Structure 1
Amino acid sequence: MRLLLTSDTHVPARARRLPEQLLAAIAEADVAVHAGDWVDEATLDLFEARARRLIGVFGNNDGPALRARLPEVAYAELGGLRFGVVHETGPAHGRERRCAERFPELDVLVFGHSHIPWDTTAQGGLRLLNPGSPTDRRHQPHCTYITAAVSRGRLTEVELHRLPPRT
């Protein structure tokens, strides 16, 4: 099972459109995961149209219309792994401990908000993944997203993709 993980698309606030590379990755994935801050309903509609399966949550920049369509936290079993998706996890310091305590039933937690790619494993085995942002790199060197695979109850082929600079 192929996964596409993204967050913080911020269209049209930070970018006029999503990068073509990301759109292609959505179509290639079995499951697309978006960890919030869509900003507009058109982006959610685009993901729903292109993704075979979409798991998404709302973020702090998402208004009432998006909040009416998306949960704050989403859960899914994918290929034998228990996934959770949430936008905010708080400060980096202590993140693994806080998330492991809040989500003891999960194997993988996908989150966003910071626009900073993150890949760690908490004590007890919870894998925390933040794909960064495909449209707003903030203080990071690149805009990013993650692809991964799930096979036989294992998360494999986790790859952070760097997008070319916007022109």
Structure 2
Amino acid sequence: MRLLLTTDTHVPKRARSLPDELLAAVEAADVVFHAGDWVDEATLDLLEARARRLVAVHGNNDGPALRARLPEVAGVEVAGVRFAVVHETGPAQGREERCERRFPDADVLVFGHSHIPWDTTSGRLRLLNPGSPTDRRRQPYRTYMTATADAGVLSDVALHRLPPRSPA
């Protein structure tokens, strides 16, 4: 199964729309994960329409309408890999141990909030933050991730750098 991981899209506050490269990756994926901070319902509607399967949560910048449509935490099994999805995990220091306790039944945790890509493994849990495809914050690039899940194994995890935005 081809997976796409994204978060912190912040449309229309940080960008007018999602990057074309990200939308093409959404359409190529079997499962799309979004770890919150959508900001507007139109982006959720867009991904629901384009993704074969969407696993999504709300974030701290998502208002009542998005919170009514999305959970704070999601859990799903894809091709034998158990995923948890949440927006906020707290400070970087101690994150792995804290998340391993919080998500004892997950193999992989997809999270967001910081806009900083993250890929670590602690014990049995792999933590993945794909960064943001619209707001690079203190990072050199806007980013998203892809991966493959097959027979209980997550592989081919890749961080994709998006090109700089064209001047308006």
**Shared fold, TM over 0.5:** yes
Paired residue type of 1:77? E
Query: What residue is the counterpart of 2:10 in the other structure?
Result: 10
* Distance in 2 of aligned mates of 1:153 and 1:163: 29
Instruction: Name stretches of at least 5 consecutive residues in structure 1 with no aligned partner.
Output: none
Query: What residue is the counterpart of 1:122 in the other structure?
Result: 122
1:147-166 to structure 2, matched below 5 A, reads 147-166=146-165
Secondary structure of residue in 1 paired with 2:105: coil
Q: 1:15-46 CA deviation, whole Å, 9 max, x = no partner?
A: 00100000000000000000000000000000
Query: What residue is the counterpart of 2:86 in the other structure?
Result: 86
How much identity, in percent, do the aligned residues show? 75
| Count of residues paired in the alignment | 166
Secondary structure of residue in 2 paired with 1:15: coil
Paired residue type of 2:139? Q
Q: 1:17-76 CA deviation, whole Å, 9 max, x = no partner?
A: 100000000000000000000000000000000000000000000000000000000000
Work out whether 1:146 is the aligned partner of 2:145.
yes
Query: What residue is the counterpart of 2:99 in the other structure?
Result: 99
Question: Could you say what the CA RMSD is over the residues aligned between the two structures, in angstroms?
Answer: 0.4
Query: What residue is the counterpart of 1:75 in the other structure?
Result: 75
Work out whether 1:112 is the aligned partner of 2:112.
yes
Query: What residue is the counterpart of 1:26 in the other structure?
Result: 26
Q: 1:113-144 CA deviation, whole Å, 9 max, x = no partner?
A: 00000000012x10000000000000000000
* Distance in 2 of aligned mates of 1:122 and 1:91: 16
* Distance in 1 of aligned mates of 2:92 and 2:140: 19
* Distance in 1 of aligned mates of 2:57 and 2:146: 18
TM-score calculated relative to the size of structure 1:
0.99
Cα deviation for residue 152 of structure 1 reads 1.0
* Distance in 2 of aligned mates of 1:88 and 1:166: 27
Paired residue type of 2:160? H
* Distance in 2 of aligned mates of 1:155 and 1:105: 15
TM-score calculated relative to the size of structure 2:
0.98
* Distance in 2 of aligned mates of 1:103 and 1:122: 12
Q: 1:80-105 CA deviation, whole Å, 9 max, x = no partner?
A: 01100000000000000000011111
